[in-house]
A and B are shown apart, each in its own frame.
Chain A
Amino acid sequence: MIVVQTSDFDPGMEFERLRVRCAGRAGALVSFTGLVRDLNEGDAISQLTLEHYPGMTEKALVEIKAQACKRWDLLDAVIIHRVGPLQPNDRIVFVAAASAHRKDAFQACEFMIDTLKTDAPFWKQEDTSTGKRWVSGEENGET
């Protein structure tokens, strides 16, 4: 499942849906949830706005999931990414993988979030006390 949305998601519910879809076959579910921090580059962040390239974003995420499924033995995988204005502590991204054995799910989950950060057309703009600024690709820290 690949979703780009402005609304929040429920990681517990997504995890449960994945478990049900892979019922009996899955021995491992691994998920990652990315959150908005209230500090970046030493400055307080009051809001984070995510811009994206509609159409290309979904295509990039489908490709990332397909690469993960090709490289590891997965039963299913999920990528949900939010766009629009977000506040500190809001959820930005959810990535999950289901597999028969834990190693495939762990590695695929890490691969999908790492690849998403370099290949999917999303851009972050931060609101700081001195105004808005775009997060530079080279300085993009861990979420």
Chain B
Amino acid sequence: MVRLRFFASLRETLGTGDEQLELPDDVSDIATLTGLLQNRGETWNSALADPRLHIAINREIVKRDAPVVDGDEIAWFPPVTGG
């Protein structure tokens, strides 16, 4: 299982902020995992296609070719606006 996290406007758009997913055998990196989620429908497809989204694995920012393994926590979120 992997844990998927979505924050802020993305969380609201998708209607979920936290879920568990059984990682399919053919999903080995962020790009393929994001593609799998985009197949859930038009809302997911367009929301996750936003090139400004940041992605973190286990609370570290990563690029789209970063490998994903069982047990990871993967987060997608819009540009940050703290301070």
Question: Which A residues have a C-beta under 8 Å from some C-beta of B?
Answer: 34, 50-53, 55-56, 59, 81, 92-93, 113, 116-125, 134-138, 140, 143
Contact = CB atoms under 8 A, between A and B. Distances in A.
**A interface secondary structure, majority:** mixed
Given A53-B59, A123-B77, A137-B52, A116 B9 contact: no
Contacts of B59: 53, 55-56, 59
B62 to A, nearest CB: 12
Given A51-B8, A53-B5, A121 B83 contact: no
B79 A121 contact: no
A51 B7 CA distance: 8
Contact of B82 (A52, A55, A134): A52
A53 B83 contact: no
Contacts of B82: 50, 52, 81, 93, 116-117, 120-124
Given A56-B75, A123-B77, A116 B83 contact: yes
B78 interface: yes
**Which residue, of B12, B60, B77, B83, has the highest number of chain A Cβ atoms within 10 A?**
B83
Nearest to A113: B83
B81 interface: yes
Given A56-B56, A56-B75, A59-B59, A121 B80 contact: yes
Contacts of A118: 80
Contacts of B7: 51, 53, 121, 123
Contacts of A34: 83
Nearest to A51: B8
A137 B79 CA distance: 5
B67 to A, nearest CB: 19
16 contacts: A52-B82, A53-B77, A56-B75, A93-B83, A116-B83, A117-B83, A119-B80, A120-B83, A121-B82, A122-B80, A122-B82, A123-B9, A123-B78, A134-B12, A137-B78, A138-B79
